[in-house]
Amino acid sequence: MYLWFAVSACAQAELTPDAAPIDSPPPLDAAVDAMPVDAAEASGFFEDTTAADFGGGALTDAVIEPWGAVAPRAYYTGGLRLRASDTGTFTNPAATTWLAVEGTIFTSAIAPGRTVAVNWGTATPAGVGLTAGDDFTLGYDGEIYLEAGTWTFHVLADDHAFLELAQVGGTTFTRVASATTPTEATGTFVAGADGWHPIRLAYCERTGSAQLRVELSGPAIAVRAPVPRHRLRFAASGIDGLAVAAFDDSKLLGDTQAGIDRTMPAARDYGTGLPADLGITDADDWSLRWSGQLRIDTGGDFVFRYVSDDGQRLWIDGVRVLDAFDDTTHDAMTAAIRLDPGWHDLVIDHSESAGSAAASLSVVSGPELVGAALPPARLRPVEARSERHDSGVDRTDRAIPDLGQVDSTIVIDAPPGAKTHGVDVSWTFDHAYRGDLELVLIAPDGSQTIVRDHVGGAASGSVTERVHVTALDETTAAGVWRLRARDTVSLDTGTLRDFQLTVHHRAGRPPIAAQASYVSTVKDLGDMVTAYTSFSWQPRMGAGTSVKVYVRSGDTMDAALAAPWSSPLVDPMAGSPPVLPRRFFQYRIDFESDGDGAAMVDAVRLDTRREVP
């Protein structure tokens, strides 16, 4: 914080050398220099512009950004923060504390734990920097949405796990369950109010197979079920990079793993190799999705270039600006896109079919960021609701009877009310006469569309096919999806082997806190203050947001803290604040958001006059 006074020539002779400016601030701007000053008065100001300046203020669902700004807290909605240690384990979950878990040496990787029901078998969990499938600890933390009432949690772990919860806004955790293989642990938690409850979950794998499963039942979930993804979130403010989802099929299909790319998001040349630590095992036939938000500091028209080997798609602020999700290489540029200062939604898809693989997104023209990959410090893993996905697979072999039908099913864990806007689907089957088959995709609400209609003629054997379906848009996304194989001609049979599905939708918990506030420390302006000449702040306000500022003052610190807040100020250059000029001054910033737009305040300044003794 800068706090500085400029003294008129008449008064300067009375000052001693000890009256030097505090913190060596830069010169006053032209407006302040030009301000008329009485012979026995000094002009001055304080200005909060850095993280240190804003430090010490009270935060309610708000954060102080490291580059120097105050903003509502942003969340990754749909998972918990997941970290891992390959140097520390525990054997007695009932006696192990969360502090002890955090005392182990975590790797540098962070991943979104999109589910707390995972069976890794003997594989190594992906996205968190582990190198072996034995002797590791996982730590999940964040928040879970619970309605008021009694909830029952069931924890199954191979080998050990414990679960802790706290009340909304609380920091005192209650141990709910501690589990050791092979016995499932059950415990209850009484939620005192509807809302987001802090949650901590630790899991330890020693040797052999690895499995963790948490289920719950309570006021809003009558029948015991796995924890729905939309009830989980963690704070993404302060985490650089983009969330990355990896698929073992080239069209965002198949088994998925997740991580946070904090080094080179969408700036990778894999050659003939493959992404590391994301669960992909084959160098061909895979795909990636990076998603999050990009911070623009200097607004203007931007043109992006996306070079990919193979396919690519790009969304900016919910608009698909590049679309070539195929099996060939591309070097494409967007039209000029107007981006104002602030956070902007970003989704980047990359598809690898065969041969080399690379994905490079950069800015080729604009007022900033030109000529290089997107810097991780300008990115954060906040998934916008404008383009989200949920996936599933069914690899059970099912016989297709002659003149009969069989269904393969996948449960999609999408948020309540989510409506489909695009479905990626693939299947593998073998049949003695492919032309006999009709395949029908059926949405959870019963809507259906034919995705394969008696093609292939007399050909036989195994085939894998992929399609993107829009005929089921605006149907229910959450629930049981079916792929129905119908044999409509006699004499031949086959087997439906694989069914893979990714449902795109625009729903879920909002990523930005709907209401947030910051209350500054009380500013000591020195004695003999005669006027507050100007009060201003620098907001960045996205669509669906508002910023209101309140001020108060007092002759003592206690008086300032007891004073009522002023009426809300909405004009950042309104002029003199509506409070009496006193030695102690405090301000408050209230943010409101529709849950998708993000606002921030980069600076707050008060100009003053004071008598010189």
Q: What is the pLDDT of residue 305?
A: 97
Cis geometry, peptide bond prior to residue 310 (ω within 30 degrees of 0): yes
Please, are residues 507 and 229 in contact by the beta-carbon 8 Å criterion?
A: no
Residue 83 sits in a domain whose CATH number is: 2.60.120.1560
Q: What is the pLDDT of residue 574?
A: 80
Q: Are residues 322 and 265 in the same domain?
A: yes
Residue 431 sits in a domain whose CATH number is: 2.60.120.260
Q: Are residues 173 and 192 in the same domain?
A: yes
- Tell me the per-residue pLDDT of 322-346, one tens digit each, with 9 for 90 and over: 999 999 999 999 999 999 999 999 9
Which DSSP string corresponds to 235-268? E-TT--SEEEEEESSTTS-SSEEEEEE-S-TTEE
Three-state SS at 30: helix
Beta strands in 312-447 (DSSP E): 312-316, 319-324, 330-333, 337-339, 342-352, 357-365, 379-380, 388-394, 398-400, 405-412, 420-431, 437-442
Q: What is the pLDDT of residue 372?
A: 85
Ramachandran bin of 456, using left for φ above 0, alpha for ψ from -120 to 50, beta for the remaining angles? left
Alpha-carbon gap, residue 575 to 218, rounded angstroms: 53
User: Which one of 235, 256, 271 terminates a domain?
Assistant: 235
- Here the tokens at position 517 are 């506030």
Q: Are residues 445 and 490 in the same domain?
A: yes
Q: What is the pLDDT of residue 41?
A: 73
Residue 281 sits in a domain whose CATH number is: 2.60.120.380
Q: What is the pLDDT of residue 42?
A: 84
Which pTM value belongs to this model? 0.90
User: Which one of 360, 384, 408 terminates a domain?
Assistant: 384
Residue 586 sits in a domain whose CATH number is: 2.60.120
- Here the tokens at position 462 are 């195994």
Ramachandran bin of 435, using left for φ above 0, alpha for ψ from -120 to 50, beta for the remaining angles? alpha
Please, are residues 231 and 143 in contact by the beta-carbon 8 Å criterion?
A: no
Q: Are residues 80 and 227 in the same domain?
A: yes
Query: Who's near 90: CB < 8 A, 6+ residues apart?
Result: 96, 100, 101, 137, 160, 202, 204
DSSP H/E element including 413: none
Q: Are residues 283 and 363 in the same domain?
A: yes
Q: Are residues 407 and 360 in the same domain?
A: no
Q: Are residues 597 and 529 in the same domain?
A: yes
Alpha-carbon gap, residue 119 to 115, rounded angstroms: 11
Please, are residues 252 and 287 in contact by the beta-carbon 8 Å criterion?
A: yes
Q: Are residues 141 and 200 in the same domain?
A: yes
Residue 32, φ and ψ in degrees, nearest 5: -75, -40
Three-state SS at 488: coil
Q: Are residues 139 and 28 in the same domain?
A: no
Q: Are residues 309 and 253 in the same domain?
A: yes
Q: What is the pLDDT of residue 95?
A: 97
N-terminal to C-terminal alpha carbon distance within the chain: 24
DSSP H/E element including 101: helix 98-103
pLDDT along the chain (613 residues), means of 10: 45 34 34 44 91 97 96 97 95 96 93 96 94 95 98 97 97 98 97 98 96 97 96 96 96 93 94 93 95 96 97 96 95 97 96 95 97 94 93 97 97 94 96 96 97 95 95 97 96 95 94 97 94 96 95 98 97 92 97 95 96 77
Q: Are residues 468 and 351 in the same domain?
A: no
Q: What is the pLDDT of residue 463?
A: 94
User: Which one of 505, 538, 561 terminates a domain?
Assistant: 505
Please, are residues 154 and 186 in contact by the beta-carbon 8 Å criterion?
A: yes
Alpha-carbon gap, residue 252 to 389, rounded angstroms: 9
Q: Are residues 221 and 266 in the same domain?
A: no
Alpha-carbon gap, residue 191 to 397, rounded angstroms: 43
Split into its structural domains, the chain has a count of 4
Query: What is the span of the domain harbouring residue 483?
Result: 390-505
Q: What is the pLDDT of residue 611?
A: 85
